[in-house]
Structure formats: C-alpha cells, structure tokens
Amino acid sequence: MGSCQSPLHSVPISVMKRHLMMTGGLLAALTGTSLRAQPAAVADLARVRGVEGASHWLVIVGDFASDGNRAFHRDAWPTIDSLYVRPGKLRVAWINLPNDASKNSLIAAEVAACSGTGMKFWPVHDAMLREQPRWISLADPTEFLQELAGRNGGNPMLISECLQKRQVKAFLQSDVARARRRHSCGARVHSRQQGAARRARGRGDSFGHRACPPGGTLALP
C-alpha cells in the first residue's frame, strides 16, 4: 500500500483518547526512572501537540515523503497552528504511514520518531517537511536527516542510539498496521462530543473507511 497523497481523512476521537490514556499509564510508570528506559513511550507522547484541554483533535496519518503532507504543512498548517492549536482549541497527533516503496520515507519516519524519544518530534517533523526536496532523492538520507534533526532540537546521542537499537521499530509497525487495517490516511478534525456519539452508536474505536480524496477541506471548530 502506498503512502497518502491527500492530507485529509477521518479518525474518531475515541481512538486517540484511548491511545493517550494508555500512553499516560506508561509514562506514569516511569516515575523515578530514566525516560530512556521506555523510549517508545516517550516518542508516543512527543507526537502530540497542543493543550490537554482542547475540545477538538486533528489526527494526521501521514508520510514525510508525501507531496500532499508537505503541501498541507506549507499552505494550511501555519493558519491552523496560529488560529486553533496555539489558542488551545485544537490538539494534534501524528500517526505514521510511510510508503513501503520508498526507503527514504521509512528512514524519515524512524528518524522523526527517534527524535521524539527526546521530546523533539514536532520541530524535526516541521524541518523534514520543509526540507523534503533536499533529502527525498538521496541514496541514503539517514546522515542528512540526523544532522537536520540535530539542528532542530533533536538530541544526536539519543537519535543515534535509537536508530542503532531500533527502539521505535515496533512503535512504527503498530502505526502502519493500525492505519492499513482501517484503510485510513490523511487527517480530519473531531470533537470529544463526536467521539462520544460514535461510541453510543457502537462505532467507537475504528478508523473511517472512505478512500482518501484528491483534495478537500478541514472542518475546523
């Protein structure tokens, strides 16, 4: 299955709510221990952006090598961030769906997730999409992406250790399996109330099944 070319699709709020409750439990278990003991759990938390009390979620199922994700980040994200995320109206989460056919897509996903083990996923995410033309055609972009991550807040030692030990391998595989199982890609906004309504109808913990359209608009709160 190829990567998403449109950044627009739906994921119910109940999925992320349950997912983050699980994450919170993992992180609570780290009390009194080094965060490096559970790098995948830290990476899971790091991919969430925005205030905890936000009434809406924007869940992005994306690919760092996708033209659609880069265009979304360049053209739409600055407005969404300034009007909805920073004021506390919207919380954002990223779910990885790299392109099997692109080694660079897979490497980028891993470097970004490894940056998350130091809680720097989003600065590196932004830099990767912004600089995509510089690494997308490299024979092996690992070194370039590691340096890019380091220039944008990533901890070089943590990232190197993460890559060598494949600390986020299962984490990424889980993302891909979840997205493929539900035929989901892209992103859409959902409110907590919509999530509750879906659960009441017995449709709580599932992704949407519609194919990703070639274009579309976000129904922002």
Rounded-to-integer distance, Cα 81 and Cα 87, Å? 8
Rounded-to-integer distance, Cα 167 and Cα 100, Å? 19
CATH superfamily, domain 13-200, is Glutaredoxin (3.40.30.10)
Dihedral of alpha carbons 103, 94, 80, 149, sign:
negative
Give the domain ranges of the chain.
Answer: 13-200
- Note the pTM of the prediction, 2 decimals: 0.73
Q: Which tokens is 121 given?
A: 């996923």
pLDDT per residue rounded down to tens, the chain (221 residues): 444 543 433 333 444 444 444 334 333 333 334 444 599 999 999 999 999 989 899 989 999 999 999 999 999 999 999 999 999 999 999 999 999 899 999 999 999 999 999 999 999 999 999 999 999 999 999 999 999 999 999 999 999 999 999 999 999 999 998 888 765 566 555 555 444 444 444 443 322 323 333 333 333 33
What is the amino acid identity at position 171? Answer: F
| Cβ neighbours of residue 26 closer than 8 Å, sequence gap 6 or more | 38, 41, 44
